[in-house]
Amino acid sequence: MSDIILKGEKRESIAVLNQQLLEKEPDTLDAVELQQEIQGDSYLPQLYAALERGTKKYPSDFYIVCINQRFRLFELVNRTFFIDRLSCPTPDFDQSVYKYTKKDDRLEFLWSIPDQQTCESYRLDPLGFLKAIMNNVDTYSPCMMGRLNKKYENSTRKKKQT
């Protein structure tokens, strides 16, 4: 798996980014705000690049899985990998999933699951979880309604029928 680097895009080394983050004053951002700050402006171009790659590669519907990877040596540095695949992935931590429907030429957001530590903190702090939900209804509504596994099962069932 490798990161997609857009033409002409210059990237600083992970060590430099980590040092810059360590020198900043600690933020009081919640997990969602922190993830949005980390991803910045590169998320959508990389998502569209994965979409374009998948439409060329697959003759039918497919999924785009966005996996957030944290580096052990540089705890404040994350990287997101965009992987196109035919099968619906099993829900996992640090993962966002989109489904592309070729017939409708439509990209649908399915779910996003934060890292395990954030999920555990939400379990211990229900008010913090509710705040995250209210600020990001589209992201958390499938999980909150208990439909995340049902979405996964429906996607895999539809795939087997076709």
Asked whether 99 and 63 are in contact (CB, 8 A), the reply is yes
Amino acid at 1: M
Mean of pLDDT over the chain: 74
Q: Per-residue confidence at 24, pLDDT binned at 50, 70, 90?
A: low
- Name the residue among 51, 83, 54 with its Cα closest to residue 67: 83
Q: Per-residue confidence at 145, pLDDT binned at 50, 70, 90?
A: very low
Instruction: Give me the pLDDT at residue 99, please.
Output: 95
Instruction: Give me the pLDDT at residue 5, please.
Output: 45
When computed from its CA atoms, the radius of gyration of the chain, rounded to whole angstroms, is 17
Asked whether 51 and 82 are in contact (CB, 8 A), the reply is no
